Amino acid sequence: MFKLEKRPQPSKAFAYLTPILAIIATMIAGGLLFMALGKNPFEAIRTIFWDPLFGEFAFYYRPQLLVKGGPLILIAIGLSLGFRAGIWNIGAEGQYIIGAICGAGVGLAFYPMEAWYIFPLMIATGAFGGWAWAMIPALLKVKFQTNEILVSLMLVYVAEQLLASMSLGLLKNPDGHGFPGSRNLKDYPSAFNDEIITGSGMHWGVLTAFIAVIFAYILLNRHMLGFSIRLTGEAPRAAKFSSVNPTRLILFCLGMSGALAGLAGMFEVSGPAGQISIDFNTGYGFTAIIVAFLGRLHPVGILFAGLLMALTYIGGEIAQANLGLPAAAIQLFQGMLLFFLLAVDLLTNYSIKRVKTEAV
Amino acid sequence: MTGTLLKIEGLTKAYPGVVANDSVSFEIKYGEVHALLGENGAGKSTLVKMIYGLVKPDSGTMLMNGAPFAPPEPRAARASGVAMVFQHFSLFDALNVAENIALGMEQPPAMRDLAEKIRTVSEDYGLPLDPYKTVGDLSAGERQRVEIIRCLLQDPKLLIMDEPTSVLTPQEVEILFETLRKLTAEGVAILYISHKLEEIRALCDAATILRLGKNVGTCIPAETSARDMAELMVGTELQTPKSAGATLGDVVLDISGLSMPSPSAFGTPLRNIHLRLRSGEVLGIGGVAGNGQDELLLALSGEMRTAHDAVKLKGEPVGQLAPNARRMRGLLTAPEERLGHAAAPNMSLTENALLTGNTRRGLSSRGFLKWAKARSFAEEIIEKFDVRTPGPDNAARSLSGGNLQKFVIGREVLQDPDVLIVNQPTWGVDASAAASIRQAILDLAAGGTAVIVISQDLDELMEVADNFAALNEGRLTETRPTQGLTIDEIGLMMGGAHGMEVAHV
């Protein structure tokens, strides 16, 4: 029989080792899954993890890594601040949509005027939109002790309806021959979120994501506010004893994660996506939750986790196209990654001991 | 009656990394109250669990009435006449006394017969109890009676009691002792676990002292001083804390008409508390657990806000201020619960030093943390308070209870407070750590700090406090000088026997 024994100290080695173990376990279990589907498991794993980086068409996929990883990292950084404090914003997808609508809306309002200040203004309104959307669950929680998990999640569906309404109504392209969707911002230089270095995939949103990583790292490790966040997550009563104001913390964490999700939405709509459309959102806000945990809620970890997740997305698409793997199998594969990570994570705080069965 | 009931020989039980019991031998005679003494972690509970069949020994033998005794499970132990009253009660609040007792029986009789039996047994042993009363309405002392009667219905030959008096007032303790004496007169042996030495001296016929899993001595408590027993327990000579006898200064903390609802559904609200504390004074606040001690600490630390001028610090109202604002003004606190309240278990000692030390020690500037300064503050605490740990990077939860308590108290003491409030400063702490914590409190008072010590350990309060008051159902009694206070008076201040009747048998 085996027994779990709590370690006196969390193991440093395992804190770094668990993501790697989880990835290996996912590869094995995923390989078995692909085998059961009648595919060559080695080829499938290679297609997912190797081809996007070093395969024949890597020059095309590598920039995609940043394009897909950027918003994931940006949203996950915001979420991780709240998660660290035990404040669960599950509705980043909704804040992402609202940020995109607000940002794009401001840009389109100026069309066709060209001015340097349009894009910065769009960034500000995008962040504001996400922030405001996140303030709804925050204020309800603070005032009426509602559950932020439920409220933020429900607001995702509200945001989706709003998105549909916008693409069919207010923001619809007047020159679009009746098709749903806004004007394409790629054709509007003042509002276009272009690549900073051509062909690199590095647009302003990716840069913002990297800045957010640094900002979050400094906040958590060098600032009293970050310490308060960590303390609240570790021991809420000790945090209160230490003079942390829970109300302010809830407002800050939800507001920050909302603003970053809004930014991600705004950079996406003005760059890679180009326009507001009914199916604009692709689930970054939900995947970012996985990214946040995969990165152990640590800023640098999230940076790597975001890139890894982007890799499985791109690799998954290649595998779908080249090997004919079903989309559901790829989603399952991504789900396994989180599952194994959480399972192996136990080893950071516990060690497995072999015990002789004891008559009780 | 004489003769040996239970003979324990060479009992050994090892867990990974620690030998909980190392060939422990002793015997319990019929009709004897046998004390099992030792610090936390000395192996008392492991030993008792082996007798009660919860844990199987690695080696060694037990003889019950001369016959080999190795209960594979508690049921077998009960069948052999061993009964146990646990420190923490296992009762359902919503059920009545008889129903609770029936739940623990293998074949409960009809409820009416059981109720009758409960009534008879309880009258016989001087523990009157109404079998139809709902347990939720009973006091802690009465709940303990339910547990004891549950055991007595099994006709035990050996009754094990784990820290039975920790929830009782002195008057209730006296009633319990009467019952126990009556039981022993009938030949029942009692194994009595406690660390309250005066109690053991008053009640027990023999004592076995454990230290680090070994039997380090047997004594007759009535003929041994409490100090000698304590030294056997600890293994070193104990320093008795000494008060320098400071002169009292001005009133620094003035509490008037402090009322506050309890933050939790099962807590006790504070009701109109008045109290004046002068600099250099140590005020001991006694009371049975759950009578508003935790709430009083929350109200004073600033975790719960009250009417602004209900709490005045050096004349300035602070009732609405946050903990850090109070710290800045010199009011520091140390809550009872070390892990999770006074300290964050998974965080390092450096981070835990920062937890309360930020304002007074200037561990951050414009919100940015000065880790080096926080670390040296943690190191200072570790050094000055003799905290046994490899270093300030270790997590709080890796420390033993006594060491973490020294850290938590040290953290506040070294911030040079004007008023310090500590709740249960030595709860679950070994005797030598307790002595050094008490000495630190006295030294602080000698330097002019006003200290409130909230504790359920009356001996501790008598040792350190100049004045004494008691909390009872959220009300604070008037303050009286400790000197000349008798144990009877203290008991009455704590609420007497809480209306528990004594059957005269």
What confidence tens digit (pLDDT) does each residue in A14-25 have? 878 888 888 899
Tell me which residue range forms the domain holding B485.
251-493
Assess contact for B423 and B293: CB atoms under 8 A: yes
* Residues B260 and B228 grouped into a single domain: no
- Which of A227, A241, A245 minimises the CB distance to B301? A241
* Residues B176 and B27 grouped into a single domain: yes
Residue B327 Cα, gap to closest chain A Cα (Å) = 10
Quick check: A353 contacting B, CB < 8 Å? Answer: yes
Q: How far apart are CA B139 and CA B142, in angstroms?
A: 5
Quick check: B343 contacting A, CB < 8 Å? Answer: yes
* Residues B83 and B204 grouped into a single domain: yes
Contact between A241 and B303 using a beta-carbon 8 Å cutoff: yes
Contact between B398 and A8 using a beta-carbon 8 Å cutoff: yes
User: Which two structure tokens, joined as six digits, stand for B436?
Assistant: 């050094």
Contact between B324 and A243 using a beta-carbon 8 Å cutoff: yes
Residue A308 falls inside a structural domain: no
Given a cut of 70, the residues of chain A with pLDDT beneath it are: 1, 355-360
User: Which residue's structure tokens are 């009782």?
Assistant: B168
User: Which two structure tokens, joined as six digits, stand for B121?
Assistant: 């047994």
Residue B501 falls inside a structural domain: no
Share of chain B above pLDDT 70, in %: 94
Q: How far apart are CA A311 and CA B205, in angstroms?
A: 75
* Residues B157 and B220 grouped into a single domain: yes
Chain A residues whose beta carbon lies within 8 Å of the beta carbon of residue B342: 238, 241
* Residues B213 and B323 grouped into a single domain: no
Instruction: Given the cut 0.90, state whether the ipTM is greater than it.
Output: no
Chain A residues whose beta carbon lies within 8 Å of the beta carbon of residue B337: 237
Residue A224 Cα, gap to closest chain B Cα (Å) = 5
Residue B418 identity:
D
> What pLDDT, on the 0 to 100 scale, is given for residue A359?
44
Residue B354 Cα, gap to closest chain A Cα (Å) = 9
Residue B470 Cα, gap to closest chain A Cα (Å) = 24
Residue A56 falls inside a structural domain: no
* Residues B229 and B261 grouped into a single domain: no
Mean pLDDT over B487-497 rounds to 77
Domain boundary (B234, B268, B292) is at: B234
* Residues B169 and B300 grouped into a single domain: no
Assess contact for B140 and B456: CB atoms under 8 A: no
> What pLDDT, on the 0 to 100 scale, is given for residue B501?
54
Tell me the sheet residues that pair with B312.
B254, B317
Nearest CA to B342 out of A238, A146, A244, A130 is that of A238
Residues with Cβ within 8 Å of residue A134, at least 6 apart in sequence: A89, A91, A95, A152, A254, A255, A257, A258, A259, A261
Cα-based torsion angle of the residue sequence A56, A59, A64, A69 in order, rounded to the nearest 10 degrees: 90
> What pLDDT, on the 0 to 100 scale, is given for residue A360?
40
Contact between A10 and B395 using a beta-carbon 8 Å cutoff: yes
- Which of A10, A237, A359 minimises the CB distance to B341? A237
Q: How far apart are CA A225 and CA A252, in angstroms?
A: 10
**pLDDT above 60 for B51:** yes
> What pLDDT, on the 0 to 100 scale, is given for residue B498?
59
Q: How far apart are CA B19 and CA B28, in angstroms?
A: 23
CB atoms closer than 10 angstroms to residue B486 = 9
Interface of B with A in 31-50 (CB under 8 A): none
Nearest CA to B419 out of B334, B361, B354, B501 is that of B334
Residue A125 falls inside a structural domain: yes
Mean pLDDT over B77-90 rounds to 85
* Among chain B residues, CA nearest to A360: B73
B176-187 pLDDT, tens digit per residue, is 898 899 889 988
Quick check: A40 contacting B, CB < 8 Å? Answer: no
Residue A32 falls inside a structural domain: no
CB atoms closer than 10 angstroms to residue B366 = 6
Residue B80 falls inside a structural domain: yes
Interface test with A, best of B355, B394, B403 (most A CBs within 10 A): B355
Tell me which residue range forms the domain holding A286.
75-297
Q: How far apart are CA B290 and CA B439, in angstroms?
A: 27
Contact between B323 and A241 using a beta-carbon 8 Å cutoff: yes
| Burial per residue of B232-242, b for 16 or more beta-carbon CB atoms within 10 angstroms, e otherwise | bbbeeeeeebe
Assess contact for B417 and B252: CB atoms under 8 A: no
Residue A325 falls inside a structural domain: no
> What pLDDT, on the 0 to 100 scale, is given for residue B280?
92
Residues with Cβ within 8 Å of residue A131, at least 6 apart in sequence: A95, A255, A258, A259, A262
Mean pLDDT over B472-492 rounds to 86
Q: How far apart are CA B322 and CA B1, in angstroms?
A: 63
- Which of A5, A235, A243 minimises the CB distance to B323? A243
Nearest CA to A325 out of A313, A335, A334, A317 is that of A317
* Among chain A residues, CA nearest to B335: A241
Residue A297 Cα, gap to closest chain B Cα (Å) = 16
Binned at pLDDT 50, 70 and 90, residue B430 comes out as confident
Cα-based torsion angle of the residue sequence A147, A153, A159, A161 in order, rounded to the nearest 10 degrees: -110
> What pLDDT, on the 0 to 100 scale, is given for residue A259?
98
Residues with Cβ within 8 Å of residue B374, at least 6 apart in sequence: B350, B351, B353, B354, B357, B361, B363
Mean pLDDT over B308-313 rounds to 94
Residue A310 falls inside a structural domain: no
Quick check: A9 contacting B, CB < 8 Å? Answer: yes
Interface test with A, best of B304, B332, B341, B359 (most A CBs within 10 A): B341
Phi and psi dihedrals of B17, rounded to 5? 85, -10
Residue B418 falls inside a structural domain: yes
Write out B203-243 in H/E/C secondary structure: HCCEEEEEECCEEEEEECHHHCCHHHHHHHHHCCCCCCCCC
Residue B241 falls inside a structural domain: no
Domain boundary (B234, B259, B289) is at: B234
Residue B295 Cα, gap to closest chain A Cα (Å) = 13
> What pLDDT, on the 0 to 100 scale, is given for residue B237?
65
pTM of the model: 0.78
Interface test with B, best of A4, A228, A241 (most B CBs within 10 A): A241
CB atoms closer than 10 angstroms to residue B36 = 27
Question: E strands of chain A, at which residues?
Answer: 2-6, 350-354
Chain B residues whose beta carbon lies within 8 Å of the beta carbon of residue A85: none
Residue A171 identity:
L
- Stronger pLDDT, B279 or A9, i.e. the higher one: B279
Residue A282 falls inside a structural domain: yes
* Residues B145 and B259 grouped into a single domain: no
User: In this structure, what CATH number is given to the domain that contains residue B451?
Assistant: 3.40.50.300
Quick check: A230 contacting B, CB < 8 Å? Answer: yes
| Alpha-carbon separation of residue A202 from A70, A189, A199, A208 (angstroms) | 9, 17, 8, 10
* Residues B280 and B414 grouped into a single domain: yes
* Residues B184 and B293 grouped into a single domain: no
* Residues B230 and B257 grouped into a single domain: no
Share of chain B above pLDDT 90, in %: 40
Residue B299 Cα, gap to closest chain A Cα (Å) = 11
* Among chain A residues, CA nearest to B70: A359
Chain A residues whose beta carbon lies within 8 Å of the beta carbon of residue B367: 223-225
| Alpha-carbon separation of residue B6 from B9, B48, B126, B193, B226 (angstroms) | 10, 12, 27, 16, 26
**pLDDT above 60 for B114:** yes
Mean pLDDT over B139-157 rounds to 86
Quick check: A175 contacting B, CB < 8 Å? Answer: no
C-alpha B341: how far from chain center: 17
Highest mean pLDDT of the ranges A122-136, B26-40, B161-175, B337-351:
A122-136
Quick check: A143 contacting B, CB < 8 Å? Answer: no
Residue B502 falls inside a structural domain: no
Quick check: B368 contacting A, CB < 8 Å? Answer: yes
Chain A residues whose beta carbon lies within 8 Å of the beta carbon of residue B77: none
> What pLDDT, on the 0 to 100 scale, is given for residue B290?
76
User: Which two structure tokens, joined as six digits, stand for B86?
Assistant: 């646990």
> What pLDDT, on the 0 to 100 scale, is given for residue B170?
80
Contact between A241 and B345 using a beta-carbon 8 Å cutoff: no
Residue B503 falls inside a structural domain: no
> What pLDDT, on the 0 to 100 scale, is given for residue B405?
92
Residue B479 falls inside a structural domain: yes
Q: How far apart are CA B446 and CA B140, in angstroms?
A: 37
Q: For chain B, how many structural domains are there in total? A: 2
Q: For chain A, how many structural domains are there in total? A: 1
* Residues B287 and B195 grouped into a single domain: no
Mean pLDDT, chain B, whole residue set:
87
Residue A319 falls inside a structural domain: no
Residue B324 falls inside a structural domain: yes
DSSP conformation letters of B156-168: -SEEEEESGGGG-
